[in-house]
Amino acid sequence: MAKMTYSGIDELMLSMLEVAELPDSVANKMLQAKGKIVAEAQRKKITASILDRPSSGVLAKSVKVSRMKTRKGGTERYVTVYPQGTHHVSATGKKTTNNEVFFINEFGAPKRGIAAKGIARAANAESAPQSNAAEFQIYDDFLKSKKL
């Protein structure tokens, strides 16, 4: 009668459990790599549009990637990419943030005669293949370190 034996199944199960519980350090590297590519794409789109004056570049320079955040008890991790900081101060002393300026130009303000430009949406879509590849490369390196 034939006999079948298995070797190494315990190590494989442990490795699969490690992959299922992706360490925060790896998730952070993945998200930061993806965020940097998306932020650069947004900066280029802002610079190419009439949204940012060539002399200042304030809005394009303000696009940053946040640190990794968690939601829902730590099961969902994410970063945000958006313009940060103050864009200008009006004559009345009211501060207008870069995020407000970008939001109005992204989605428009019909009552003020500002058409939606969709800069972030276009930049995010154009950078998706490159940002996904960068994220996958880090994940692949993690799997290879576990010999999977």
pLDDT tens-digit readout, 76-85: 889 999 999 9
The pTM (predicted TM-score) of the whole model is 0.80
Question: How far, in Å, are 12, 13, 17 from residue 9 at the CA level?
Answer: 5, 6, 12
Whether pLDDT at 74 is above 50: yes
The pLDDT of residue 14 is 46
Q: Report d(CA 34, CA 58) in Å as an integer.
A: 23
pLDDT score of 53 more than 90: no
The pLDDT assigned to 32 comes to 96
> Is the Cβ–Cβ distance between 79 and 31 less than 8 Å?
yes
